[in-house]
Amino acid sequence: MRPRHPSSSLSRRTFGKTLMGLSLPLILPSRLWGAEAPSNRIRVGQIGCGRIARDHDMPGVLKSGLADIVAVCDLDANRAAEGRKRVEELYREIDATLPTVSVHADYREILQRKDIDAVVISTPDHQHAEPALAAILAGKDVYLQKPFTMTVAEGRILRDEVARSQRILQVGSQQRSWKQFREAAQFVRSGRIGQVRSVEIGLPIDPTAPDDPAQPVPKGFDFDRWLGPAELAYYTEQRVHPRVGYTRPGWLRNESFCLGMITGWGSHHYDTMHWALDLESSGPSRVEGTAEFPTNKIWNVHGAYDVKLTYPGDIRVHVSDKNPNGLKFIGDDGWIWVTRDGQATASDPKSGQTLPPLDASDKRLLDPKGLKVELPRSDSHHKNWLESVRSRKEPLAPARIAHRSGSACIVSWIAMKLQRPLTWDVKSESFVNDAEANKWLSRPERAPYGVTRLIKS
């Protein structure tokens, strides 16, 4: 018999009642507020111990100086054990006292613990929505790796539950905490290039390869639970992650688990675009796209692609692998360019370009003086999240904003699949008079997994 989900004893309705009559700060564990709050560190559970967790999320949390990682979890027993070793290494690096770190194979064990305040979810894309929703229902604050969700339907459920519960959820759109992206957004929103007419976005693509045959499921790996709501498929290392090491995993190239770079790095660049255009609560009205999709069954995410979107104000957006990796905002009075000057993890794709992280048609457009709009500053995305856990103020990349940028990416992917123009109603979050396209806004959830079942439990 499968163990009951922790939320089964804390249903959506029951959880809502616990909030009635309480002011927001009381949601925070009592040991984190009051006169002694500065001396009390936030206790974090790490869910997923792969490359992004090891190289980005775990270091980000511990280097913030605000939290301790007290539990790690992974469906791969080897990765779970190595996750604890990685935590030990990081404590040595920062010369801090190591707490007791428990190891788990089931994230629900972490959510049941009263001594854990928050969780970081660093799982494959198809396993974002369900553990995040479960954590919210269990009263935990959440740092969730991007993209926000795999489908628009999942995103609506998670966004609405975060708003209803008043939990803190930060999505890993860390470009908001990078200096050049904030500055670019400030310059554009301050009118430095005049009326914005168009935006050009470039994203890398992942290569494909012939399908590998089935292999025995490794000992200590819960492959069925790893598949979760996705359809059944045979195990092969190519489909999941490396048995040894932490190079770029195969799941990033399979549409059952990831939609490809259009949501991978796309969720970063679309988010930056929405931020700079002051359209964080909006989205496109029209989208059309083309793409090459491999016939392979495993590494089958999109290859070369071209997407055109229309945003409020008749702003035309062109997204293509042929564009340089980054964003170029083009207005009546010039252009501003912004891109990364580094990578989140060593295994991220390398663009091979040598373009500056911040540039403009006229360097005077980048003068920091006289800005009409100044956006919140953060030098660490994880620290910003943890500060929000303490203050109960909205973080830089909250659920309501991440859902909109994520939806724009997903809508682009749907246009790439259908390869015809689509009209998007941002208010209803659906395609206009297009039943075929609307079917792509959700996907079947294999029992007993999925957010739809969880929210009804």
pLDDT in tens, 385-407: 999 999 999 999 999 999 999 99
For residue 243, pLDDT beyond 80: yes
* Confidence at residue 102, expressed as pLDDT on a 0 to 100 scale: 98
Confidence class for position 346, pLDDT limits 50, 70, 90: low
438: three-class secondary structure by DSSP: helix
CA distance 134 to 6: 8
Q: How far apart are alpha carbons 419 and 288 in whole angstroms? A: 7
pLDDT tier, 19 (very low <50, low <70, confident <90, very high otherwise): very low
Report yes or no: 378 and 170 within 8 Å, Cβ to Cβ: no
Are 279 and 313 contained in the same domain? yes
pLDDT, greater one: 1 or 89 = 89
Is the pLDDT at 237 greater than 70, yes or no?
yes
- How far, in whole angstroms, is CA 386 from its chain's centroid? 17
In this prediction, residue 15 has a pLDDT band, given cuts at 50, 70 and 90, of very low
Question: Counting beta carbons within 10 angstroms of the beta carbon of residue 436, is it exposed (0 to 12), middle (13 to 18) or buried (19 or more)?
Answer: exposed
Q: Does 190 reside within a domain?
A: yes
pLDDT of residue 134: 98
Judgement on whether residues 316 and 345 belong to the same structural domain of the protein: yes
- Per-residue pLDDT averaged across 200-219, rounded? 97
414 lies in some domain: yes
Taking all residues of the chain, what is their mean pLDDT, rounded to a whole number?
Answer: 92
Handedness of CA 105, 106, 112, 118 (dihedral sign): positive
Mean pLDDT of 231-260: 98
User: How many whole angstroms separate alpha carbon 204 and alpha carbon 188?
Assistant: 24
- Whether 213 is in a domain gets the answer no
Examine residue 229 and state whether it is found in any structural domain, yes or no. Answer: no
Position 9 pLDDT exceeds 80: no
Going edge to edge, which strands form the sheet with 42-47? Answer: 102-104, 67-73, 42-47, 118-121, 141-144, 169-171
Domains identified in the chain, total number: 2
pLDDT average, residue stretch 183-207? 97
Could you tell me the two tokens for 239?
């489909």
Task: Report CA torsion sign: 5, 406, 429, 301.
Answer: negative
Tell me: do 25 and 103 sit in the same domain.
yes
364 shares a domain with 304: yes
Same domain, 148 and 21: yes
Mean pLDDT within 320-347: 88
Q: Which domain holds residue 427?
A: 179-207+258-373+399-441
Confirm if 318 and 201 have CB atoms less than 8 A apart.
yes
In a domain, 220, yes or no: no
Mean pLDDT of 100-119: 98
Could you tell me if 188 and 98 lie in one domain? no
Instruction: Give the lowest-confidence range in 125-139, 245-259, 352-366, 417-431.
Output: 352-366
> Is position 423 within any domain?
yes
27 pLDDT above the threshold of 60: no
**Average pLDDT estimate for 90-119:** 97
Same domain, 168 and 274: no
The verdict on 151 and 284 lying in the same domain is no
For residue range 352-384, what is the model confidence (pLDDT) as tens digits? 668 899 999 999 999 999 999 999 999 999 999
Note whether residue 273 is domain-resident.
yes
- Which pLDDT band, with edges at 50, 70 and 90, does 24 fall under? very low
Q: How far apart are CA 259 and CA 444, in angstroms?
A: 15
- The pLDDT-based confidence of 32 (bands split at 50, 70, 90) is low
156 and 263 together in one domain: no
pLDDT of residue 354: 80
269 and 163 part of one domain:
no
Q: What is the mean pLDDT of residues 58-81?
A: 98
Residue 207 has pLDDT above 90, yes or no: yes
- Residues 51, 98, single domain; the answer is yes
Tell whether 406 is covered by a domain. Answer: yes
CATH of the domain at 170: 3.40.50.720
pLDDT at 457: 81
Same domain? For 203 and 286 the reply is: yes
Report d(CA 309, CA 291) in Å as an integer: 15
